[in-house]
Amino acid sequence: MINKIRTQVVQNAASILRSPVHLLPQSVQKKALLEGLKMVFKEALEDGDFDFLEGKWLKVSVTDMELSWYISYEADKLVVADCPIKEDVSFSGNLNDLVLIAGRKEDPDTLFFQRRLSIEGDTELGLEVKNLMDSVDLESLPQPLQTLLNQLADFVHKGLQSPTTQSEVINAYSN
């Protein structure tokens, strides 16, 4: 029964979270995104590994949540645009797949070839972004963030492995 509930939560996560996230002011979303990126890419930022993104724009879209962010690198710091900008490269995928990539439960190349991750625009720039993401050492993250990311990715991974139908969940609750 727990597996069926987990599967339903994972399958419906985007629709459950979409409205609350859209109610957050853009400034709050932007601040949270920037702080998260600075934390995850702390070493890369210190080493100047984002120089390739100077003057270029990366669009990251969570398709099933209808969210998009525009990210660039200016004056040695990451920036997030307040409004849509013409991107040079775009990464898009659904919430669960992006969680799996972040938690290293799925390889971006595999998802790309399965058409679950879309990369459009400047392919060389896209490859540099992907390589930078791959270079992040998850063990360098603060322990609470590591734990949260690992548990969330495990939860999603297990939830996607055991397909269930709505009627099976209803039957599980009625038994």
What is the CATH classification number for the domain harbouring 156?
Answer: 3.30.1050.10
Q: Which amino acid is at 48?
A: G
pLDDT per residue as tens, the chain (175 positions): 888 999 999 999 999 999 999 999 989 999 999 999 998 899 999 999 999 999 999 999 999 999 999 999 999 999 999 788 899 999 999 999 999 999 999 998 999 999 999 999 999 999 999 989 888 888 888 898 889 999 999 999 999 986 544 444 445 444 4
From CA 130, how far away is CA 15, in angstroms rounded?
Answer: 27
**Is 169 within a domain?**
no
The predicted structure's pLDDT at residue 69: 94
Going by C-alpha positions, the residue among 58, 52, 49, 150 that lies closest to residue 100 is 150
C-alpha distances in angstroms, 6 versus 10, 124, 151?
Answer: 6, 38, 13
From CA 25, how far away is CA 19, in angstroms rounded?
Answer: 12
**Is 130 within a domain?**
yes
The predicted structure's pLDDT at residue 167: 45
From CA 11, how far away is CA 20, in angstroms rounded?
Answer: 17
**Is 101 within a domain?**
yes
**Is 166 within a domain?**
no
Residue 5 domain boundaries: 1-160
**Is 168 within a domain?**
no
**Is 39 within a domain?**
yes
Q: How many domains are contained in the chain?
A: 1
- Can you give the pTM of this predicted structure? 0.84
